[in-house]
Amino acid sequence: MSKAGILAFLSLLCCGLVHSSSSIDLRNTQLAREGADGPPGLILEKTVFTEQFVPGCDTWTAVSRAHGMPGDQSAVQSNCRQQASAQGLLFQTEDGINQFLSRTGQPYQVSNEINKTFRLPPEYARQPLRASFKFAGKGRMEAGMVFLPGQSKKINRTSGNSGQLSVEEVVPEGAESVVVFVRLSDVGQVLLTEAEVKLIAPAVQDELEILAFPYGYLDEQFFVPEKTPIQLLFTVKRDKKKRYKDVFLHLYLPEGYRCVGFDNALELREQQGGHYKIHFTKAVNATIIDSKYCCWRMRPILLQADNPPDGQFRPLRYQLEVGGRLLQERQLQLQTSPAVVAQRTPKRFITGATQPSGGDYDAAAAEAFLKLYQATGFNALQSDKSEPLNQLLQERGILRFSNFWYIRDGYPRGREPGGRPFIGSDGEPFNRQLCPVVTYRREPYYVEKLQSELTRYVVEKIDHYTVNWEAYISDYKGCFCEVCQQEFSAWSKLPAEEVAAVWPKDVVSKYHDQWVAFRSWQHGQIVRTVQEDVAVAGKTVGRTANFVPMVSVAGFYRGSKYCLQYHPSDYLKYLPMGTVWGPYSAQAGLGKLYRYTCGLHLAHYYAVREVRRFCQENGGGQTKILGFPYGCHAFNVNTPEGVALETISNFLGGYAGSLVYWFFFDSRYWDVMAETNNLIACYEDMVLDGEPCDQLVSTTVLSEVIRPEHWQANFTSYKQYPELAEIDSPVVSQAFRQGDKMLVAAGNFWALADAFVNLQVKGLQGELVLRQPHQGTWRRASAEQLTQGITIHLPALKWDFYLIEAWQPDQDYGREITAAEINQRWDSQRQNITAALAEEDKILAACKRISSFNDFDFSEVPEIAAGGVSLRELRLEGRQALQITAPDYRIELEPARGGRVRSLTIRGQEAVCPNDELGFGVLGFWAPTRNLFTQAYRIAEITPEADHVRVVLERPDNGQGLKLVLSYQFFPDRLRETATVTNLGEVDQELLLRFHHLLGHLSRREGKDGSLRIGSGEVPIVQKHRFLQTGTATDRLLKTIINDTPVPVNGQTVEFAAPFFNYRLRFESATPLLGYYMWNHPGIVAGTFEPTYAPEPGKLKRGESRSISQEWTWY
């Protein structure tokens, strides 16, 4: 491989490390720090291969051999060479090795290898030993270690173009030495650049673990505003099956810092100087996640800095004590920042935070908490609150949003026995929900148990009832009770006897569209009922109170099919107010490495505009929408500048308010939100009362700037933000006119650099001033100059506002911004802008290498055949696909759509029920993320073998540092698929793999179902989601697949039969299985079959690979 090729590979690995111009560096996270050098330990050997490398007895020894070949091997070895160069150690193995065959007729396995022997002192026993190798090139690489005496061996393999390969094994008792090797074990050419052998220090395995939230897993820095209490939270990992006793949190604060308040679940037991011993048992036992850090029910501490800002960091140390034993100590670096100074608070636009944890304060702590909250300019809070905090919020006019558990996610739930339940198609109650009719007909149970509580809650605790409203949880679940049968018949005007004949099992398939519309109508009636009851309760105490459901942006764009069973057109007309969350801008976190995404916030801006347009077209023109800028939901975070930018986008986009979801941050975030709220307060009257006049304003970026292709590389669909597909600039503008004044807002959505922009404004007359009262500056220009345009400066990820009005000579407008000052700023930024654009171009080039593939060349051989199977090129929707034909079947394979089999026709009958994205054979994950990979692969290889045709598809990076390879083998009477996943990323990754299939045998036709046989047992096909478990796994891992209890089965083979097919399908796998996920519900064309493979121990380390396979036959 050339030096240029190696540099290109290293460039690709680093392309995700670009960072926006933010006050927090999200590249510096716990995950990145641990991934950079791997776990701590003792390095036994580290070799960087250069042209000076010479194999020998004191270093790595070079050897080549044919395994199992008797006699002289020199002829085979002549095909194996190693050569040291400035770039690394080059391994070359020629295809001449395939001439030497064993007695079975197969070529010998030939190793082109280096190895080294290490002595193992007795104290190394039972400790992990890891050998890691970095390489680039093509060929199958193996790394391994052999412990002596005893010959205990561990080998890992990978194939591909580049990456890192490692092998790890615990040193056995009695081992005296270990031979570590890396080898090219097939034909190929590989450049080895680095080798490392490390004895891994045993990980600290405490029964409880704690991290400061979120900074413990971010940059471990926490900025505290001077003399202003600020919340500090901790997240805990515990064994949920245990109830802990005598748990204490120890805080060791540096001089100048002190605790000034605690959540009521925490109790200060001792204090000596800066050492606080806090009873923490309730906080630990309240967490609801097993064996992972839990972000729910965290309990805050109020921290205050008494020392002035001096730019110095000072360590806060913290640790848990359990049963008298002190656990691992951690640190957080504290720095005092200037106090947040109250300027203006918006009076009309709702602005605030959502804080699902904390808020349970006594009177003194509540007062302390509100000092910073009000100084920031917030006028609303969504949180559970103690009575003292609730009273203070009401007294100070801060809007209170909250809820209780029993009315949520689309359907009220039964608090006590007695209410008619929501019935599924299997006749069983679902999710403790009430039949919809109980609510919207206000049956006695609803009135006595829920309406009364709703009234009390509104009267005593809140201004608006807001709650998570993810009604999709109940899609196709029902309700299928007799009352809903009667309601459906009356609503649809279908004869009662016809409905009864198909109720419940076949009503959805026969009357799908009517039933879906009926479900949406029922849901709308529930929303109407709750809104009416909340409003009535508010009126009893002289307040305007509303029901404010929190719904996903996924249902608020034209053409959305996401929410047909609870469509906004059926409920928006009843709502004075609602919350739309998303799209979320998660950028880094506990389990997520930072990856710069050009256009991330631009998508949010255009999604907001689409939501308002959608509401106006679907009965929600009067509905005041609140947005949820992404803060630190769960364990992922947004930047401070991103939070502020999205808040202003909500403000300008026509939303009535914006509540940051969630807001548990240090003063870096509070500072930008104080600035943002001040800006909104300055201009809210113009924005809310003025007439939009965007057509009078235009912006042209004069400095170097990104192009549409830079952000378009990150988007595969524009459904939620159609305008994003049409724009040509990252700078946007809006304008509002009121009388003889005009307000112009311009925003720079490029995260890496400032923009210098020509701002043109038409339709004005005379001498004018462009005021910026939010910062006390101004510029003067004539109407003629504005028509031609003036140059303005927009910092990265910033909105700026200009209030244009007639010039008054005697008016004191503050400090003047001159054209010369703007030019001076531009000169100072030119180099940074050029460098940022070069980084964007580098990222774009890397994305194109990953996702833009040339078609496979069929010009010389238009048909490839072997063993009675033939393969030809096929064009589907303008993209290259493959058609495979055998005597018994025909297949259409689409590499560009996740390598799916779109069609599998066996004996004239189609076995696949494809949708727009999926079909048969798509690789999926349960971990590290819960998704299916449907993006394009490149065709790497098509090979005729002795009895089949083999197709290899490759994806260099799935976006998470994983290389994916799909290998299809098409035999005359069966097909086999193997997926190999290789970790090329910077961190170890948990891996849980599956295949996804949509099979005709799992459809329901003419009232008939097929059947399943797993192993030797019959398993019924039912219209519900199930996980049929055949292997073993932890409860935590199973919960990533399904919340319901798995159904135990036994078998690595599955047979499918159906009365409407003339053949049976048979699945089997040589790879151990965990089970089979089956997603199904009434009305679906076909349920899914998703074999899920047993996870291997530990995470997938950098350079390691894992493979799964499946084989399908029919008879």
Q: Which residue has the higher pLDDT, 465 or 1004?
A: 465
Nearest CA to 907 out of 1080, 698, 1061 is that of: 1061
Q: Cα–Cα distance between 1114 and 1068 in angstroms, integer?
A: 11
Q: Cα–Cα distance between 973 and 963 in angstroms, integer?
A: 30
As a whole number, mean pLDDT of residues 71-77 equals: 84
The pLDDT of residue 217 is: 95
The CATH classification of domain 853-1114, taken from the options 3.90.1170.20, 2.70.98.10, 3.40.50.300, 1.10.1060.10: 2.70.98.10
Residue 187 predicted with pLDDT over 90: no
Q: Please report the DSSP string for 63-109 in residue order.
A: EEEETT--S--HHHHTTEEEEEETTEEEEEE-GGGGG-B-TTSPBPP
The pLDDT of residue 2 is: 33
Percent of the chain with pLDDT over 70: 96
Residue 869 predicted with pLDDT over 60: yes
Q: Give residue-wise pLDDT tens across range 508-554.
A: 989 999 999 999 999 999 999 999 999 999 999 999 999 999 999 99
Average pLDDT, the chain: 91
Confidence of residue 773 (pLDDT cuts 50, 70, 90): very high
Q: Cα–Cα distance between 793 and 702 in angstroms, integer?
A: 10
Residue 793 predicted with pLDDT over 60: yes
Confidence (pTM): 0.82
Confidence of residue 318 (pLDDT cuts 50, 70, 90): very high
CA 175 from chain centre, in angstroms, equals: 44
As a whole number, mean pLDDT of residues 627-656 equals: 96
As a whole number, mean pLDDT of residues 386-403 equals: 96
Q: Please report the DSSP string for 185-201 in residue order.
A: -SSEEEEEEEEEEEEEP
Residue 235 CB: number of other CB atoms within 10 A? 24
Lowest mean pLDDT among 59-73, 534-548, 772-786, 868-882: 59-73
Q: Give residue-wise pLDDT tens across range 232-270.
A: 999 999 988 888 999 999 999 999 999 999 999 999 999
Residue type at position 532: E
Q: Do domains 692-838 and 853-1114 have the same CATH topology?
A: no
Q: Give residue-wise pLDDT tens across range 36-69.
A: 555 567 788 888 888 888 887 678 999 888 887 8
| Domain spanning 40-200, CATH architecture | Sandwich (2.60)
Q: Which helix (H) or strand (E) holds 953?
A: strand 949-955
Q: Cα–Cα distance between 454 and 537 in angstroms, integer?
A: 8
Q: Apex CA 964: angle with CA 961 and CA 965, to 5°?
A: 155
Q: Please report the DSSP string for 1014-1072 in residue order.
A: ETTEEE---SS-EEEE-S---HHHHHHH-SSPPEE---SEEEEE-TT-SS-EEEE-SS-
Residue 194 predicted with pLDDT over 60: yes
Asked if the bond preceding 55 is cis, omega within 30° of 0, the reply is no
CB 465, CB 423: distance < 8 Å: no
Q: Which residues, including other chains, have CB under 8 Å from residue 107's CB and lie 6 or more apart?
A: 97, 98, 99, 100, 101
The pLDDT of residue 371 is: 97
As a whole number, mean pLDDT of residues 14-35 equals: 73
Q: Give residue-wise pLDDT tens across range 131-151.
A: 988 887 778 888 999 999 876
Q: Which helix (H) or strand (E) holds 260?
A: strand 257-262
Confidence of residue 15 (pLDDT cuts 50, 70, 90): very low
| SS3 label, residue 822 | helix
Q: Give residue-wise pLDDT tens across range 280-295.
A: 999 999 998 888 899 9
The pLDDT of residue 21 is: 67
Confidence of residue 158 (pLDDT cuts 50, 70, 90): low
Q: Give residue-wise pLDDT tens across range 546-564.
A: 999 999 999 999 888 889 9
The pLDDT of residue 1072 is: 93
Lowest mean pLDDT among 143-147, 519-523, 820-824, 1106-1110: 143-147
As a whole number, mean pLDDT of residues 459-488 equals: 95
Confidence of residue 98 (pLDDT cuts 50, 70, 90): confident
The pLDDT of residue 1102 is: 86
Q: Which helix (H) or strand (E) holds 839?
A: helix 819-851
The pLDDT of residue 36 is: 53
The pLDDT of residue 1098 is: 82
Confidence of residue 341 (pLDDT cuts 50, 70, 90): confident
- Domain segments of the chain as ranges: 40-200, 209-338, 692-838, 853-1114
The pLDDT of residue 633 is: 86
Half-sphere exposure of 1041 (CA within 13 A, CB side): 31
Lowest mean pLDDT among 100-104, 654-658, 832-836: 100-104
The pLDDT of residue 8 is: 31
Lowest mean pLDDT among 164-178, 399-413, 858-872: 164-178
Lowest mean pLDDT among 836-840, 943-947, 1096-1100: 1096-1100
Q: Cα–Cα distance between 462 and 455 in angstroms, integer?
A: 10
Residue 164 CB: number of other CB atoms within 10 A? 24
User: In terms of DSSP bridges, do strands 624-628 and 657-661 run parallel, antiparallel, or are they unpaired?
Assistant: parallel
The pLDDT of residue 163 is: 65
Topology of domain 209-338, CATH: Immunoglobulin-like (2.60.40)
Q: Give residue-wise pLDDT tens across range 1035-1089.
A: 878 888 987 889 999 999 999 999 999 999 999 998 999 999 999 877 778 889 9
CB 760, CB 697: distance < 8 Å: yes
Q: Give residue-wise pLDDT tens across range 975-997.
A: 999 999 999 887 888 899 999 99
Confidence of residue 100 (pLDDT cuts 50, 70, 90): confident
Q: Cα–Cα distance between 198 and 273 in angstroms, integer?
A: 42
As a whole number, mean pLDDT of residues 694-723 equals: 95
CATH 3.90.480.20 matches 692-838: no
